Amino acid sequence: MVKLIKQLVFVFLSVVLCYSCEPSYNVPQDALKTDKKLRIFPDYTDIVIPSNIAPLNFMVKEEGEEFVCRITSGKEDLISGSDDTGIIKFNIDDWHKFLKANKNKSLDVYVYVRKDGKWYEYPKYNIQVAEEEIDRYLSYRLIEPSYILYRLMGLYQRDLTTFEQTPIVENLRETIIKDKSYCINCHNYQNYHAKNMLFHARYALGGTIIANDGHIEKLNTKSDSILGSCVYPSWHPTKNWLVFSSNKTGQVFHILDKQKVEVLDHASDIIFYNVDTHEISNVIKTHNVLETFPAWAPTGDMVYYCEATTNFLDTDADSTMDSKSIVNAEQLKYNIYRIPFEEKTMTFGEPELVYDAKANNKSASVPRVSPDGKYLLFTLGDFGQFHIWHSSSDQYVKNLVTGEVYPLTAANSNNVDSYHTWSSNGRWIVFSSRRDDGSYTRSYIAYFDKEGQAHKAFMLPQENPDYNIKLFKSYNVPELTVDKVPYSADKFTEIVKGPSTPVKYREIRPRFKNQDDANQQINN
């Protein structure tokens, strides 16, 4: 009886092991070479990748009965394959061992397709494994690409070394319940660490949720002295200080243009907030001037932002966008400025023009300085600042040492390339792109080398390569961090639903001595 039980256990384990192991594939030795260019999705051909990135699983877009992929360093191979689905997946442990062993090396990739009983070898492509890793976590908002609805949305964090995605906060179905609705946006972190972070909740349960060293609170940032709610945050790299823009925003819809919608500011200012004292202040407050997208320099002594004059628009904060606004919007050109900050006195100096986009008949948005302080990364489009909808938008940099301004041509596409984030080592950028279908925003990663050039961008890898095709949501506002958010989604939801703490207004030294000086500066 004991012997029989042992035999049954052995058979059971054998079956389990058999079903749990992955199929093995052999490289065909009799494959016929073809000159036809291989089609795969996502496009992972001829790219530079981090050595700690998750497997680049892909789908072969060629007809066939069987598929094999061989990645070789010349000394060792990594092999995977597929049945007639053409979906190539790699064992995650084998993948990471292979990349780790081949840091700073070039890999050749061969794909073989069996069609009508014959094997064909397609032209090889190259993958370069960079020496520098990318920050482990990427956070983003997943949102339906709509204009008025924000149900079933959330902020999520993805482990870039695996395929694990975890929620930071979700609104779930509560958005359809009266007085419990809220939108979630504008997440930001202090110096690539998630312990100090924030995001905004909007509508019925609106407020700014700030997590600071384990303590979480919801703020009511409204004040009679402040234009409106805070938007587009940036956390000081070392201190508990934040800069925001405060924007009054409206939408105008296109009838014929595939861009679909234009988002315009009626008015916007730059705001400073002290997390420790709950004090909020105006940094730049002017009439007929729009200031937006503030971002601290990595040294903490300068704030970069975008600014446009609006003498042709009605900037009454209570006004409503009309049909003329979209025509005027095409004249709206944002330049990039910076304003110095004195830490001891907590005051701001006079603004300085950094890049005159208007002189080139362009408009700039989202200025962000590289961690080493050498490069200013920004988005450049034909007009306006809501470039996530603009097919003309591309990634640009300014060399802050030489003053040279140029596009990141290898990373850009012929469609939307917009909101971006630097990695903490400055060697990677992640940005939003609609290059795949023009409607859904997806996250793309590009290597930024020591010479200030970006390389071909590649889509955020997924366990199932067709995942992004089937996901009817857009990736919004990518942000890299070195560590995982230490707060639970349930805790954030509890704070969103709870009471808010009012802030105190504190006057700081204004941008100009008087409005006449402001108008003179604007006219100049």
Q: Is 173 helix (H, G, I), strand (E, B) or coil?
A: helix
What is the rounded average pLDDT of the residues 489-512? 84
Task: Give the model confidence (pLDDT) of 185-233 as tens digits.
Answer: 899 999 999 999 999 988 778 899 999 999 999 999 888 888 878 889 9
Specify the pTM: 0.89
Among 412, 360, 359, 358, CA closest to 385: 358
Question: Given pLDDT bands bounded at 50, 70 and 90, which one contains residue 465?
Answer: very high
In a 13 Å sphere around the CA of 40, the CA atoms on its Cβ side amount to 30
Compute the distance between CA of residue 505 and CA of residue 513 in angstroms, rounded to an integer. 20
Q: Is 453 helix (H, G, I), strand (E, B) or coil?
A: coil
What is the rounded average pLDDT of the residues 135-162? 86
Only one residue has tokens 């320099």, namely 297
Statement: residue 271 has pLDDT above 90: yes
Of 171-175, 241-245, 431-435, the least confident: 171-175
Of 114-123, 243-252, 464-473, 503-512, the least confident: 503-512
Compute the distance between CA of residue 216 and CA of residue 496 in angstroms, rounded to an integer. 10
Phi (first) and psi of residue 4, to 5 degrees: -65, -40
Question: Given pLDDT bands bounded at 50, 70 and 90, which one contains residue 384?
Answer: confident
307-329 b/e with 16+ CB inside 10 Å = b?
bbbbeebebeeeeebeeebbebb
In a 13 Å sphere around the CA of 441, the CA atoms on its Cβ side amount to 26
Question: Given pLDDT bands bounded at 50, 70 and 90, which one contains residue 253?
Answer: low
Ranges of beta strands (E only) in 36-83 are 40-41, 47-49, 58-60, 66-72, 77-82
Q: Exposed/middle/buried for 193, CB within 10 Å: 0-12, 13-18, 19+?
A: middle
Q: What is the pLDDT of residue 521?
A: 41
Q: What is the pLDDT of residue 101?
A: 97
Decide: 272 and 281 in contact? Cβ < 8 Å.
Answer: yes
**Residue 515 structure tokens:** 């409005």
Q: Pick the more confident residue, 370 or 16.
A: 370
What is the rounded average pLDDT of the residues 504-516? 62
Residue 117 DSSP label: T
Phi (first) and psi of residue 97, to 5 degrees: -65, -40
Task: Give the model confidence (pLDDT) of 359-383 as tens digits.
Answer: 999 999 999 999 999 999 999 999 8
Statement: residue 326 has pLDDT above 70: no
Question: Given pLDDT bands bounded at 50, 70 and 90, which one contains residue 411?
Answer: very high
Of 4-13, 20-29, 194-203, 217-226, the least confident: 4-13
Decide: 135 and 192 in contact? Cβ < 8 Å.
Answer: yes
Of 23-27, 29-33, 248-252, 342-346, the least confident: 248-252
Q: What is the pLDDT of residue 522?
A: 37
DSSP 459-508: EPP-SSTTHHHH---EEEEEEEESS---S-HHHHHHHHHS--EEPEE---
DSSP 323-348: HHHHHHHTT---EEEEEEEETTTTEE
Only one residue has tokens 């587009």, namely 232
Statement: residue 15 has pLDDT above 50: no
Statement: residue 425 has pLDDT above 70: yes
Compute the distance between CA of residue 159 and CA of residue 264 in angstroms, rounded to an integer. 34
Phi (first) and psi of residue 342, to 5 degrees: -100, 115
Residue 519 DSSP label: H
